[in-house]
Amino acid sequence: MLVLAIDTATPAITAGLVELTADAVRPRAARVTENARRHAELLMPGVLAACADAGAKLAEVDAVVTGVGPGPFTGLRVGMVTAAALGDALGVPVHGVGTLDAIAADVAAGEPLVVVTDARRREVYWAAYDGAGTLLDGPHVTAPAALVDRLPELGATAAAGPSAAATGLAVRSTAGPSPVGLVAVAAAALRAGAEPAPLEPLYLRRPDAVPPGQAKKVTTP
């Protein structure tokens, strides 16, 4: 099975093709560009470049996997909308997976782990995992200090993700999710041919943009 993987929940704009077999998740090609403000402009060129690198056509893709965050509102929705549009155009299923889960799958630390990414506004997104990569707590959005205060309770001994250094723990990786990590999280559902759940973004807080309020009435004397 040839799977297209996409994630735009972090400053890393990730696109890649992954070969999923009955017992393996094999990378075919990956394009990762670091740019926190150009997700919309760079994602599809990355998808097409990954296809060219893999010697495959988009029409050969059997499924799409996309990260659903948590992540900033604008960047996150670029990847999810693109994944949904490609799935519709190609007539293939689209599976959403947690971005932090994918980073944890990439690291495969074998030890209690927290995955931490930048949430802006002097906050971080984080989630805690056991040594097998199973989610224990989160995802949450908090100040870094609030996460550090919880580390003894969580029992984590290492950290991963672009903002891992904020924890003071041993850092296993500062990368965003890879195509292999994204597909690994969805592998069981893909192999089983399960119906994907509706794509639901993990914003964890309200977007900055809000509808304008009702205009004030102007009275005349």
Q: Work out whether strand 63-67 and strand 94-97 pair parallel, antiparallel, or are unpaired.
A: parallel
3-state DSSP assignment of residue 124: strand
Q: What is the pLDDT of residue 215?
A: 54
Beta-carbon-side half-sphere exposure of residue 199 (alpha carbons within 13 Å): 22
Please give the pLDDT value at position 74: 86
CATH of 100-173, one of 3.30.420.40, 3.40.50.2300, 2.40.110.10, 3.10.20.30: 3.30.420.40
CATH number at 2-98+177-192: 3.30.420.40
Alpha-carbon separation of residue 20 from 55, 57, 167, 182 (angstroms): 16, 16, 34, 12
Domain range list for the chain: 2-98+177-192, 100-173
Q: How many CB atoms lie within 10 A of CB 99?
A: 34
**What is the structure's pLDDT at 209?**
45
How many residues are listed for the chain in this entry?
221
Tokens at 166, concatenated: 């904020």
| Cα 66 from Cα 49, distance rounded (Å) | 17
The candidate with the shortest Cα–Cα distance to 116, out of 132, 128, 107, is: 128
Q: What is the pLDDT along the chain (221 residues), one digit of tens a residue?
A: 999 999 999 999 999 999 999 999 999 999 999 887 888 899 999 999 999 999 999 999 999 999 999 999 889 999 999 999 999 999 999 999 999 999 999 998 789 999 999 999 899 999 999 999 999 999 999 999 999 999 999 999 999 999 999 999 999 999 999 999 999 999 999 999 999 999 999 999 754 444 455 655 555 55
